[in-house]
């Protein structure tokens, strides 16, 4: 009897050890130092996304990442699919623990593999969030980009109400050239109002103005960059100067 129990314990320890090794093996592909270096570079460039957990989630871990509610004992966490870094890990999810620094920006503290239940909950919530966006504004932020949103806004007479929570990585560097080419467009276009806004402005806008707000959203790491985009964009000169400094034409 004692021998059987001992063998069972040995087998259990071996199994747990194998699982832990597997988790550590996969987690090792995420260089915490490299991710935190990206944050430092962004801070040096004046980016705002390192100041919020949502900014870290989108910029570092992709459009299917999610910030979990803060837990008193374990702090703040971001859940993300391993496929964002390695397509071979399509069924594996990971959890990053993040900490707030004295300068009010955030850093990655650790990354570990998620349990099955945590991963399933994250996938369900992300799917529900995507459906809410589609229901409210007829827009799918996973399969459609900034230029697709502009086409939707061009077809509308009133501003579109946008739920909060669109991932900070939704507007990417590759979108910028096309958006800058539209800055001088006076074609009529509706704007966007964040659903958290207490102000409703039904003013008409232009494609150029909305393109400018999208670019500003890229710079700040959130869209819309403010509570609404219906007012004329007032930083057009500075925006074009910023683009030239980055080597844009």
Mind listing the pLDDT tens digit for each residue in 42-80?
A: 999 888 889 989 889 989 998 889 888 777 666 789 999
Residue 87: phi and psi, rounded to 5, are -60, -20
> Contact at 8 Å (CB) between 30 and 86?
no
Q: In the prediction, which pLDDT does 249 show?
A: 62
Summarised one tens digit per residue, pLDDT across range 193-228 is: 988 888 877 788 999 999 999 999 998 888 898 889
Q: In the prediction, which pLDDT does 111 show?
A: 93
Q: pTM of the predicted model, to two decimals?
A: 0.75
For residue 19, pLDDT over 80 is answered with no
Q: Hey, how many other C-beta atoms are within 10 angstroms of the C-beta on 151?
A: 11
Q: In the prediction, which pLDDT does 21 show?
A: 41
For residue 13, pLDDT over 80 is answered with no
> Contact at 8 Å (CB) between 137 and 162?
yes
The C-alpha atoms of residue 81 and residue 230 are separated, in whole angstroms, by: 35
The C-alpha atoms of residue 36 and residue 108 are separated, in whole angstroms, by: 6
For residue 35, pLDDT over 90 is answered with yes
């Amino acid at each position: 009897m004692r021998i059987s129990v001992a063998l069972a314990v040995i087998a259990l320890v071996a199994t747990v050890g194998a699982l832990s090794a597997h988790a550590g093996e996969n987690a090792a592909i995420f260089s915490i130092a490299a991710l935190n270096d990206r944050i430092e570079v962004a801070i040096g460039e004046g980016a705002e996304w390192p100041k919020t957990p949502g900014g870290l989630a989108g910029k570092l871990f992709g459009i299917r990442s999610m910030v979990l509610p803060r837990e008193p004992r374990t702090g703040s966490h971001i859940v993300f699919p391993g496929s964002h870094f390695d397509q071979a890990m399509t069924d594996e999810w990971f959890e990053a623990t993040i900490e707030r620094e004295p300068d009010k920006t955030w850093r990655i503290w650790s990354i570990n593999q998620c349990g099955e239940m945590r991963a399933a909950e994250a996938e369900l919530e992300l799917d529900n969030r995507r459906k809410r966006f589609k229901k409210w504004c007829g827009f799918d932020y996973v399969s459609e980009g900034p230029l697709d949103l502009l086409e939707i806004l061009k077809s509308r007479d009133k501003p579109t109400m946008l739920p909060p929570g669109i991932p900070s990585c939704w507007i990417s560097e590759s979108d910028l050239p096309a958006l800058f080419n539209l800055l001088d467009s006076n074609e009529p276009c509706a704007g966007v109002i964040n659903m958290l806004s207490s102000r409703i402005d039904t003013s008409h806008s232009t494609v150029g103005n909305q393109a400018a707000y999208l670019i500003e959203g890229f710079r700040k790491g959130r869209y819309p960059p403010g509570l609404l985009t219906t007012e004329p964009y007032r930083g057009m000169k500075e925006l074009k100067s910023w683009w030239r400094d980055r080597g844009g034409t």
